[in-house]
A = this chain, B = another copy of it.
Amino acid sequence: MRLVVPVSGSDPKTRLSSLLTPDERREFTEAMLADVIGALDAAGHSPAVVATAPVTCDAPVTVDERGLDSLVNGLLAETNGELAVVMADLPLLTPATVERLFAPDADVVLAPGTGGGTNAFVSCHPDFRVDYHGASIRDHRRIAREVGATVAEVDSRRLATDIDEPDDLPEVLLHSNGAAADWLRDAGFELVTDGGRVTVERA
């Protein structure tokens, strides 16, 4: 089965602009991507990266400027629906979590993200297609139902935690020792636990 990690190579993670420069956002994106590829590799998979602009990583990279929906739906059409897609901003991913993603005996396995997204899926149904806008997990359940696919969902915090906003950064420092966590620590970020919410501050 083809396994693809789509990533934005040009101007990634704009919602982190208040904390990181454009160059830093690219570096942090590549660090998260390294964590994702590392977890997939260690679980015995061979991911291919598809990026909107060149990125550096330990996997073959194809540059493709299509938007996410047309890219993934194009790949689903090419592969007759035998496709797995894992997002690049999941630095908490571990090999054990990857194994849980590929374990269920269902036509379509969905990994919900916090906030209604779909952070990963494994499809072996010829007619499954994606629609990442809005609360995509709801749309993907509906699409799978409409094409007659059986569906399973993976209950994983590590797969659910995509890193988009400053509020997401504590999760990396709390639950990972990978490349993204190292990058944040090297850049001077540390956890701050005064008051209610756990946040990060930059030294």
- The stretch among A33-41, A122-130, A155-163 that forms the contact with chain B is A155-163
Enumerate chain A interface residues (CB-CB to B < 8 A): 94, 96-97, 100, 112, 114-116, 133-135, 137-138, 155-161, 170-171, 174-175, 191, 193-194, 197-198
Copies of the chain in the assembly: 2
Which residues of B have CB within 8 Å of A159? 157
Distance (whole angstroms) from the CB of A17 to the closest CB of chain B: 14
A198 to B134, CA, bound (A): 7
Distance (whole angstroms) from the CB of A164 to the closest CB of chain B: 9
Q: Which 9 A-B pairs have the closest CB atoms?
A: A134-B193, A116-B198, A157-B160, A135-B198, A157-B157, A135-B193, A155-B156, A155-B158, A116-B174
Which residues of B have CB within 8 Å of A94? 155
A97 to B100, CA, bound (A): 14
Distance (whole angstroms) from the CB of A198 to the closest CB of chain B: 4
Distance (whole angstroms) from the CB of A133 to the closest CB of chain B: 8
A173 to B175, CA, bound (A): 27
Which residues of B have CB within 8 Å of A100? 155
